[in-house]
Amino acid sequence: MNLSDHPFFVWPFVAGMAFLCIYLPAVYLKWLRKTSARDRKKISAAIFSVKTIRAIREIFSECLLHRRIFRFNPTLGYMHMSLAFGWFLLIVVGKTETMLYTRDGFNPPYLPVFFKYFYPDHIPANFKGLFFLTLMDLLLLFVLSGLTLAIFKRFKSKFLGMKKSTRHILPDRIALTFLWLIFPLRWLAESLTSGVYNAGGFFTLSSGRALASLLPAEQLLLPAWWAYSIALGGFFVALPFSRYMHIFTEAALILLKHWGVKTTQRANGYTDFEIHSCSRCGICANVCQLSADAGINHSQAVYFLRDLRYNRLQPETAENCLFCGRCSAACPVDIQVDDIRLQQRTNRANRCAPAIRRPAAQLPGTPETGGVLYFAGCMTHLTPSVKEAIRTILNRADVKFSILDEAGGICCGRPAMQAGFRQQAESIIQQTTEMILRSEASLLLVSCPICYKVFNEEYQLPIPVKHHSVFFKELAAAKPELFKNSRKRITYHDSCELGRGSGIYEEPRELLRRVAHLVPTAHEREDALCCGGSLANLAISPAQRDLITDTAYEQLIAPAPDYVVTSCPMCKKTFSKGKRDIPVVDIAEALQMALTPEEKPVRVKVGKKAEVLA
Amino acid sequence: MKPANDKWGFRAEGSEQINLDKADSSLYRRLLNREPGFAACLFCGSCRATCTSGNEGMNFRLAHLLLQRGETARLKSLTDPCLLCGKCTLVCPRNVNIRAVVYNLKIMLHEPF
Ligand code: SF4
Ligand code: SF4
Ligand code: SF4
Ligand code: SF4
């Protein structure tokens, strides 16, 4: 049979590829036009700059090598890399091999894909040819090894470091089926051809000879090539409607990110890029405490993004999230899913809460100019011992300060903002800003990480904002004589808002090492657990919260500390609920305990007894 | 014009008695469906006492009472000032998810049935 007489089988592949080449640029253009004019200006300014080169480097390391997944789990990383990078190399090396063989740089795109079909009896005449033949076989083996892992993962995900695999929907299943068929069919077609023509690389030739001895290879040859081509074409057509849309969109997202485009308050074209960049790898669901502890399995980043993409998002799915940031920190695509969730919440809730005007009488008087202005916030008011500790330390260190919300009644606005009540939050922010400006203080001291984050990100204050853990670290460095080391064993809990939310990990630790013996826990820094108290979750039940809290508390007391230290009054309050053998204290309280005894001023003591007797 | 009986130094206003069997508690039931723990409230008032927006008229305890009585007219002004700070939820002795109830109530008052 002269194979070249039957080239019609290439059509499914060619049609699928043509579809992709038209469809993808069309949607990407549509999304780009939905971004703001400012974003587009940024893009055109950065497109021919070093930023593009940096982006390409990241595309190579993340879209092909999948380095971040390697960090999560090496086997899972290998699986993703062998499929992505292996396939990429098959294309590049295949194209080179074809070009060398035909001495024609412009051969049709299907030629490298079906090279063995068109040149079945190709026996390399020199070392270069043999090299390519062997390399192509090695690459095919490489991809097939990843595929084997992928199939294995579907049934036994624990093997690849995953507690659960993502639950997939129909478009994903269709695309997945085509994808899984592509490489086994390629192997089959190439092997059969090698078997029939007795020519090929070490792998395909040996498997081909074996197949030819068992099967009517000559009759099966053409159907196998047809099947391979259909699998390819089918995958290309299914790709934009399935999770595999991420393959190309992730690369586009990396470019946009490097060009300076960011997630905005309202959903726009950039959000579309983000949503479609999710590969549904499920890593986010594996680090989410909602599923691990509270049995909530529908609202994780992967499912939220999926539902949003297919227009079937229930408000509850957007609401059922702690905004703990564990998923964004672990996401290999670096999707800022909290921001996207907030966009959805705001869409729905913003008009349901009006702006607030506080009665002017409630605003406190002007504190001393140039001093520290301390904002305690709602949660510190609920934990008065924290406020007292801060007051004591500041007095002891002779820091001039006044308290902005001594009487309570002022909220920073962040909880409302997280619920999607944007206009209400903005009205609060504006009024509190006016108060702070009126105080003429030189620094705003904040003891709640929830407040700290919003003061930093949403308030445009002309003075620095400091969390008390950072402020006290500097204070202790400047006045070390004030504190002594108690040598007590302690563990430290990174709150979500201070740690992942604001990137403050080291300052509290440095401070604590000065006053106690800090021991590590199983989940530290970026990987710290949420206490479960987060105000951001509007749908979780109190009982589910308690389950999350208990797990987080248990891992904090696992190293048997004398006490646990946190730097968030909300975490302290949450952990202190119920029977706790090992107390949880705020970093300010830990510091207060470490204060050296005050030198008594020498003065004649008049005891109470003496007074009474007099 | 002052009511005539003001001259006695007190006023006898109309009774606020309602027939609970006839009260429209549909909004209350929808909230209960969303937050079943709401039913455990014993009207202790701790939420009101700790409330950040108490000065602006936020009153969850009263809102709860009016919800049960089907008197929805005042609910908006009683819950608008809530900033969702969460203090009330942390002090409630009955573990009522107050913050979530108020959030859902705010939304339900805007979204038609
Ligand atoms: S959000 Fe990130 S971690 Fe989660 S499935 Fe998508 S790509 Fe994976
Ligand atoms: S932010 Fe936290 S609670 Fe929300 S989906 Fe991510 S990991 Fe889960
Ligand atoms: S604190 Fe709880 S039990 Fe008391 S009135 Fe408020 S909701 Fe009801
Ligand atoms: S969440 Fe609302 S009702 Fe509760 S204390 Fe805060 S402002 Fe008051």
Testing the interface with A: which of B56, B76, B102, B103 to mutate, by most A Cβ within 10 A? B103
Nearest residue to A40 (alpha-carbon basis) of A248, A268, A339, A250: A268
Average pLDDT over residues A164-193: 91
Residue A163 alpha carbon to ligand 2 centre in Å: 16
Asked if residue A354 lies in contact with residue A423, where contact means CB atoms within 8 angstroms, the answer is yes
Give the residue numbers in B contacting A (CB under 8 Å), as ranges: 35, 37, 50, 52-56, 80-87, 90-91, 95, 97, 99-100, 103-104, 106-107, 109-111
CA distances from A167 to A211, A249, A285, A467 (A): 36, 21, 11, 41
Q: For tokens 């445009």, name the residue.
A: A460
Q: Please report the pLDDT score of residue A553 as a whole number.
A: 96
Q: Output the DSSP codes for A243-266.
A: GGGHHHHHHHHHHHHHTT----SS
| Binding-site residues, ligand 4, Cβ < 6 A | B 50-53, 58, 60, 82-88, 98-99, 102
What is the C-alpha separation between A362 and A360, in angstroms, rounded?
A: 5
**Nearest protein Cα to ligand 3, atom 3:** B41
pLDDT digits (tens, 9 = 90+) for A135-153: 999 999 999 999 999 988 8
Q: Is the pLDDT of residue B99 over 60?
A: yes
Q: Please report the pLDDT score of residue A600 as a whole number.
A: 64
pLDDT digits (tens, 9 = 90+) for A93-107: 999 988 888 887 778
**Nearest protein Cα to ligand 4, atom 2:** B82
A283 Cβ inside 6 Å of ligand 2: no
Q: Please report the pLDDT score of residue A318 as a whole number.
A: 96
Residue B81 alpha carbon, nearest atom of ligand 4: 7
A303 Cβ inside 6 Å of ligand 2: no
Q: Please report the pLDDT score of residue B60 as a whole number.
A: 95
Distance between B16 CA and the closest CA of chain A, angstroms? 29
Q: Please report the pLDDT score of residue A437 as a whole number.
A: 87
Phi first, then psi: what are they for A506, rounded to 5°?
-85, -35
A368 pLDDT tier (thresholds 50, 70, 90): low
Residue A171, H or E segment: helix A170-197
Domain that holds residue B95: 41-113
Question: Is residue B55 assigned to a domain?
Answer: yes
Taking an 8 Å cut-off on Cβ atoms, the answer to whether A542 and B97 are in contact is yes
Taking an 8 Å cut-off on Cβ atoms, the answer to whether A358 and B56 are in contact is yes
- CA torsion, ordered A586, A505, A519, A568, to nearest 10 deg: 20
What is the C-alpha separation between A491 and A473, in angstroms, rounded?
A: 17
Residue A300 alpha carbon, nearest atom of ligand 2: 5
- Sign of the dihedral defined by the CA atoms of residues B11, B17, B23, B29, in that order: positive
The alpha helices in A558-585, defined as continuous H runs, are 569-575
Predicted ipTM > 0.90: no
Q: Please report the pLDDT score of residue B112 as a whole number.
A: 67
Question: Is residue B92 assigned to a domain?
Answer: yes
Q: Is the pLDDT of residue A156 over 90?
A: no
Q: Which two tokens stand for residue A270?
A: 């950039």
Taking an 8 Å cut-off on Cβ atoms, the answer to whether B86 and A351 are in contact is no
A6 pLDDT tier (thresholds 50, 70, 90): low
Please state the pTM of the whole predicted model: 0.91
pLDDT digits (tens, 9 = 90+) for B3-45: 555 667 777 777 778 888 888 888 999 999 999 999 999 999 9
Q: Please report the pLDDT score of residue A153 as a whole number.
A: 86
Question: Is residue B107 assigned to a domain?
Answer: yes
Q: Please report the pLDDT score of residue A1 as a whole number.
A: 45
A5 pLDDT tier (thresholds 50, 70, 90): low
Q: Is the pLDDT of residue A312 over 80?
A: yes
A417 Cβ inside 6 Å of ligand 2: no
How open is the CA angle A285-A290-A293, to the nearest 5 degrees? 110
Asked if residue A330 lies in contact with residue A308, where contact means CB atoms within 8 angstroms, the answer is no
What is the C-alpha separation between A561 and A538, in angstroms, rounded?
A: 33
pLDDT digits (tens, 9 = 90+) for A403-428: 988 877 788 999 999 999 999 999 99
Per DSSP (E only), the strands in A393-546 are: 401-403, 443-446, 465-467, 489-493, 517-518
A360 pLDDT tier (thresholds 50, 70, 90): low
Q: Which two tokens stand for residue B65?
A: 């009472």
Question: Is residue B17 assigned to a domain?
Answer: no
The type of residue at A98 is T
Mutate to test the pocket of ligand 4, among B61, B88, B90 (most ligand atoms within 8 A of CB): B88
What is the C-alpha separation between A11 and A230, in angstroms, rounded?
A: 8
Nearest residue to A525 (alpha-carbon basis) of A493, A568, A558, A547: A493
Q: Is the pLDDT of residue A599 over 80?
A: no
Average pLDDT over residues A165-173: 85
Which residues in chain B are contacts of A382 at CB distance < 8 A? 50, 87, 90-91
What is the C-alpha separation between A13 and A227, in angstroms, rounded?
A: 10
A244 pLDDT tier (thresholds 50, 70, 90): very high
3-state secondary structure at position A402:
strand
Which CATH class for the A360-473 domain? alpha beta
Q: Is the pLDDT of residue A609 over 50?
A: no
- Sign of the dihedral defined by the CA atoms of residues A302, A304, A309, A311, in that order: positive
Q: Output the DSSP codes for B56-94.
A: GT--HHHHHHHHHHT--TTHHHHHTT-----HHHHH-TT
The ligand that comes nearest to the alpha carbon of residue A338 is: 2
What is the pLDDT of chain A when averaged over all its residues?
A: 90
Residues ≥6 apart with Cβ < 8 Å to A481? A596
Asked if residue A227 lies in contact with residue A241, where contact means CB atoms within 8 angstroms, the answer is no
Q: Which two tokens stand for residue A120?
A: 């079945």
**Nearest protein Cα to ligand 2, atom 4:** A321
Question: Is residue B15 assigned to a domain?
Answer: no
What is the C-alpha separation between A492 and A203, in angstroms, rounded?
A: 55
Asked if residue A438 lies in contact with residue A365, where contact means CB atoms within 8 angstroms, the answer is no
Which CATH class for the A481-593 domain? alpha beta
Which residues in chain B are contacts of A541 at CB distance < 8 A? 35, 37, 97
Average pLDDT over residues B56-75: 92
A605 pLDDT tier (thresholds 50, 70, 90): low
Q: Is the pLDDT of residue A3 over 70?
A: no
Give the number of domains in chain B. Answer: 1
3-state secondary structure at position A152:
helix
Share of chain B above pLDDT 70, in %: 91
Q: Is the pLDDT of residue B1 over 50?
A: no
Question: Is residue B103 assigned to a domain?
Answer: yes
Q: Please report the pLDDT score of residue A610 as a whole number.
A: 44
3-state secondary structure at position A479:
coil
Nearest residue to A280 (alpha-carbon basis) of A162, A439, A189: A162
Average pLDDT over residues A128-141: 91
Q: Please report the pLDDT score of residue A541 as a whole number.
A: 93
Higher local confidence (pLDDT), B55 or A338: A338
Question: Is residue B26 assigned to a domain?
Answer: no
Q: Please report the pLDDT score of residue A271 as a whole number.
A: 96
Residues ≥6 apart with Cβ < 8 Å to A244? A175, A179, A235, A238, A279
DSSP symbol at A444: E
Residues ≥6 apart with Cβ < 8 Å to A510? A473
Asked if residue A318 lies in contact with residue A267, where contact means CB atoms within 8 angstroms, the answer is no
Q: Is the pLDDT of residue A4 over 80?
A: no
A535 pLDDT tier (thresholds 50, 70, 90): very high
Q: Please report the pLDDT score of residue A357 as a whole number.
A: 81
Residue B45 alpha carbon to ligand 3 centre in Å: 5
Phi first, then psi: what are they for A580, rounded to 5°?
-130, 115
Taking an 8 Å cut-off on Cβ atoms, the answer to whether B103 and A419 are in contact is yes
What is the C-alpha separation between A156 and A43, in angstroms, rounded?
A: 43
Nearest-Cα residue of chain B relative to residue A422 = B83
Q: Please report the pLDDT score of residue B6 as a whole number.
A: 64
Q: Please report the pLDDT score of residue A63 as a whole number.
A: 92
What is the C-alpha separation between A136 and A9, in angstroms, rounded?
A: 22
Q: Please report the pLDDT score of residue A361 as a whole number.
A: 47
What is the C-alpha separation between A411 and B47, in angstroms, rounded?
A: 16
Taking an 8 Å cut-off on Cβ atoms, the answer to whether A382 and B97 are in contact is no
Between A136-140, A167-171, A336-340, the lowest mean confidence (pLDDT) is in A167-171
Q: Is the pLDDT of residue A230 over 80?
A: yes
Asked if residue B77 lies in contact with residue B57, where contact means CB atoms within 8 angstroms, the answer is yes
Please state the three-class secondary structure of A302-320 as a single string.
HHHHHHHHCCCCCHHHHHC
Phi first, then psi: what are they for A489, rounded to 5°?
-80, 125
Taking an 8 Å cut-off on Cβ atoms, the answer to whether A413 and B83 are in contact is yes
Residue spans in chain A of domains classed CATH 1.10.1060.10: 265-349
Q: Is the pLDDT of residue A7 over 90?
A: no
DSSP symbol at B9: T
DSSP symbol at A157: G
Q: Is the pLDDT of residue A120 over 90?
A: no
What is the C-alpha radius of gyration for chain B, rounded to an integer number of angstroms? 16
Which CATH class for the A265-349 domain? mainly alpha
Burial class (CB in 10 A: 0-12, 13-18, 19+), A527: middle
A128 pLDDT tier (thresholds 50, 70, 90): confident
Q: Please report the pLDDT score of residue B113 as a whole number.
A: 57
A147 Cβ inside 6 Å of ligand 2: no
Question: Is residue B24 assigned to a domain?
Answer: no
B94 Cβ inside 6 Å of ligand 3: yes
What is the C-alpha separation between A96 and A131, in angstroms, rounded?
A: 12
What is the C-alpha separation between A573 and A343, in angstroms, rounded?
A: 29
3-state secondary structure at position A368:
coil
The type of residue at A613 is L
Q: Please report the pLDDT score of residue A394 as a whole number.
A: 95
Residue spans in chain A of domains classed CATH 3.40.50.1860: 360-473
CA distances from A214 to A181, A196, A207, A242, A524 (A): 22, 12, 11, 38, 58
